[in-house]
Structure 1
Amino acid sequence: MVDLSNMMEMIGKSLDSILPSGLDMLNGKQVLFANNNVIMKPIGGWDVTLTHNDAKIHRLESIDIPACVIAVDSSCILVGETIDGSIYSAKCSIALSCNGEPITHALIGPLLFYIQYCSDYGKSMEIDGVKRMIRVRLERLVQYELARAMRGIILLVDGSLRHSIHEHLYTIHKVEDACRTNDNMLIGLSKSTRLRYLEGMISLLSREMYPCYMDVTDMVDGVCCDGKMLDRSNEHCIDCDGKEEGIMVAEEGEGEGVREGKDGCYSNTYGYNSCTDPGSKAKARVRSRTTTASSLLAKLAVNGLVLRADVLDKPETSLGMLMANDALHNGYPESLRIAHHTSVFTHTDMLCIRGFMKSRFNIREVDGDDVRRALLGKI
């Protein structure tokens, strides 16, 4: 009979060697307990003081100059799988506001994409990576066409104005150039930041009793994607694409992306063929800034939340005009809220997509099992 008591005692003695608990350092600290893995923010912010030499809070004033605010957002879901690929569907929504009120919105999709894995490789791009690739490319196309066709608008992007390894024909650089050509303002808003170094700055702004912002461009450019200060003698980091943050950009030919061209990959109305190198785990290196946008932390309303904001023009002008021409819900533009909600897939959407595929492509539906639930139960 196996005696587990001695085994447990040996394991207990070795625990600190694999990961020191560090519990002694908790004494007197503020703690925000997790809630079902949901990202939470402390009400009123953390107890911090201003320590960065260049950090300065600037007040924002509403600028009553009429302009159309156009927001773009998208969503992508996994529809089904085949033996050698996956089927995805994406929607992209465009919402328009002016003079502080929502005006209208338009929806592109649902679109279907079939991503087929190349047989030469045993490992394909992860599902989340494919979803992100589809969203980034679809959003960049829509953003570019809006910036190119319209003049004097405020173009809102869900996420930062950073280059993404998933960009292809339509890049953030093209969107920026089109905005400059047609005197459009470009603003990227993120609801949260993965750069933990900025949490203290967010807390400082949240306590201010007026709309304000802080320029954190230098801080962002000096911070790795995991929130640690960048060691420029050993510059390695996984790229954060345009839906998130970071200054790292994968070198050409590296990282999880989609190969196209002579490897048998192609695109058409209903799908993309995709290949990825199983050994390419993005050795991303620092390049020069890939955008001329300023990185800010911004509070757009008195009782609003602090957002990460990237702006192409002067912050006082672009954010001031945004405050005057879009309704703000907890400091977040209503146009982006509408674009998000109208791009989300519903249960009815899923049923319609399945029905369309069955009638259009003569597919044979296969029953499936939830392996995790079958082995572990409902818990």
Structure 2
Amino acid sequence: MTYRTHTIEFEHSKISRLLLEGSKDTLLPNFLLELSTESMRGLNGLGFKPRDLTEVEATLEEEVPEPPAIQLKDDNSIERPTPIGPASEKCPVVAVDVSSIRIGESEQGLLYSLRGAIVWRIGSSYNFTRCGPITFHLNDDMARSIVARRYSSEHVAYSTWSPVTERLLARLRNSLERWMQEIACSRIGDGIVLLDGSLTAGTPDNPAFYVEAILRKARKNGNRVMAFSKETRLCYSGRKITRLLEGISIPCILDIDRLIVPQFPSTPVRLMGRVYLAKLGWKSFPFRVDIDRQLSEEKSVDTFSLLMGSDLVEQGYPETLRLAHILSTFTANEVLAIQRYLSIEYGLKIMPRLSLRRSLFGPFGTCKEAS
């Protein structure tokens, strides 16, 4: 199930030229469309167990297991936070986010859908474009097919693909997200590009060349890249490092880069951004924020002020990035619609859902269904 794009604008009648017209045809890359089509070919007539949507809708967003914490070396000479305020000048702001959702399972694998959103702001106007949903039937056959077809020339490194479904999904999602981030970086000038996550790269799921290409395109167009992390593994003195800004009410930033760099002296992991802690609003939440390392320290600090002057920053989080997340996330009704479409399009046979707890305990088996 694929749709190229869906574009709507807010507040004014003429679509902004911030994103060039040609970009609309490339938001969903052809190699992902081909992978989706190929993965769905063997789905016809199979048994299908749709995802149960009777649970609270807030649980629909896929949970990612939290990796182990990274304990930073204690240093008593931590600098004091630097107060910041909004700059008087403004610039374009663009944000990208991608989400994934489990649709259900067949007799041979799992069905997942991806959707991405790009949101941009010029002046007081917000605009967005979405791509997807694009659905994949993930199983070991798909992993072997990817290796055989050598999609490494098409942004997917086949040599590191694993037949494990979770890793397949992570690679597909990452490929779409990096593709859309490159588009956003190359379609605006002298602005700020907001990403979800960090600028740390060099893992099998997040190769460094992806991030290098994004930063290179951003610099070429005079853009500054900022990445916001809602969660962080970094700990200091046994506590989450964001606690270093605890008790501070005013907008401020704290450069913690020198605490982090020694943690990766000779590993494949590369810190491609200078790392800060930031509170961008009065009594707001603290976030880890990475800024392109090739920017000067002075320009990096100025970027925070420029963002505060160019975008709404409620609770310390940019509105453009918040909207990108909201617009890419699936609702229960959308998941139900995808399930209905797949069952009709591929003649899927709905499989009865067996509740082991109900079978064993009858009306007393009221806890979450065992899978």
State the secondary structure of the residue aligned to 2:120. Answer: strand
What amino acid does structure 1 have at the position aligned with 2:350? E
Q: CA deviation at 1:104?
A: 1.7
- Cα distance in 1 for partners of 2:244, 2:282 equals 14
Q: CA deviation at 1:175?
A: 0.4
State the secondary structure of the residue aligned to 2:349. Answer: coil
Q: What's the RMSD between the two structures over aligned residues?
A: 2.9
Mark the runs of 5 or more structure 2 residues left unpaired by the alignment: 1-62, 64-73, 145-161
Does 2:177 correspond to 1:139? yes
- Cα distance in 2 for partners of 1:120, 1:110 equals 21
Q: CA deviation at 1:362?
A: 2.8
Does 2:366 correspond to 1:378? yes
* 1:369 pairs with one of 354, 357, 365: 354
What amino acid does structure 2 have at the position aligned with 1:221? V
Report if the CA contact (8 A) 1:91-1:344 is conserved.
yes
Report if the CA contact (8 A) 1:102-1:326 is conserved.
no
Larger Rg: 1
State the secondary structure of the residue aligned to 1:369. Answer: coil
Does 2:127 correspond to 1:104? yes
Structure 1 residues 79 and 119, CA gap change in structure 2 (3 angstroms): closer
Report if the CA contact (8 A) 2:232-2:240 is conserved.
no
Does 2:171 correspond to 1:190? no
Report if the CA contact (8 A) 1:55-1:214 is conserved.
yes
Report if the CA contact (8 A) 1:102-1:335 is conserved.
no
Structure 1 residues 201 and 58, CA gap change in structure 2 (3 angstroms): farther
Question: Deviation per CA, 1:91-118, whole angstroms, max 9, x where unpaired?
Answer: 111122244x451222211111122214
Per the normalisation by structure 1, the TM-score is 0.63
State the secondary structure of the residue aligned to 1:151. Answer: coil
Alignment of 1:1-379 (within 5 A): 51-99=75-123, 101=124, 103-118=126-141, 124-127=163-166, 129-163=167-201, 164-167=203-206, 171-197=210-236, 199=239, 202-223=242-263, 286-287=267-268, 290-312=270-292, 313=295, 314-371=299-356, 374-375=359-360, 377-379=365-367
Aligned to 1:43: none
State the secondary structure of the residue aligned to 2:119. Answer: strand
State the secondary structure of the residue aligned to 1:319. Answer: helix
Q: CA deviation at 1:366?
A: 2.2
- Cα distance in 2 for partners of 1:65, 1:120 equals 49
Question: Deviation per CA, 1:325-345, whole angstroms, max 9, x where unpaired?
Answer: 110111111111111112111
What amino acid does structure 2 have at the position aligned with 1:208? I
State the secondary structure of the residue aligned to 2:139. Answer: strand
Mark the runs of 5 or more structure 1 residues left unpaired by the alignment: 1-37, 39-49, 224-246, 249-284
Structure 1 residues 306 and 168, CA gap change in structure 2 (3 angstroms): closer
Structure whose residues are more often helix by fraction:
2
Structure 1 residues 371 and 67, CA gap change in structure 2 (3 angstroms): farther
What amino acid does structure 2 have at the position aligned with 1:305? F
Q: CA deviation at 1:138?
A: 1.3
What amino acid does structure 1 have at the position aligned with 2:94? I
Aligned to 1:7: none
Q: CA deviation at 1:178?
A: 0.6
- Cα distance in 2 for partners of 1:151, 1:119 equals 39
Structure 1 residues 59 and 86, CA gap change in structure 2 (3 angstroms): same
Report if the CA contact (8 A) 1:72-1:139 is conserved.
yes
Q: CA deviation at 1:54?
A: 4.5
Identity of aligned residues (%): 25
- Cα distance in 2 for partners of 1:337, 1:156 equals 10
Question: Deviation per CA, 1:4-28, whole angstroms, max 9, x where unpaired?
Answer: xxxxxxxxxxxxxxxxxxxxxxxxx
- Cα distance in 2 for partners of 1:158, 1:353 equals 26
Question: Deviation per CA, 1:205-251, whole angstroms, max 9, x where unpaired?
Answer: 2333422111111222334xxxxxxxxxxxxxxxxxxxxxxx59xxx
Q: CA deviation at 1:70?
A: 0.9
State the secondary structure of the residue aligned to 1:74. Answer: strand
What amino acid does structure 1 have at the position aligned with 2:323? I
Report if the CA contact (8 A) 1:74-1:92 is conserved.
yes
- Cα distance in 1 for partners of 2:125, 2:115 equals 20
Report if the CA contact (8 A) 2:182-2:217 is conserved.
yes
What amino acid does structure 1 have at the position aligned with 2:366? K
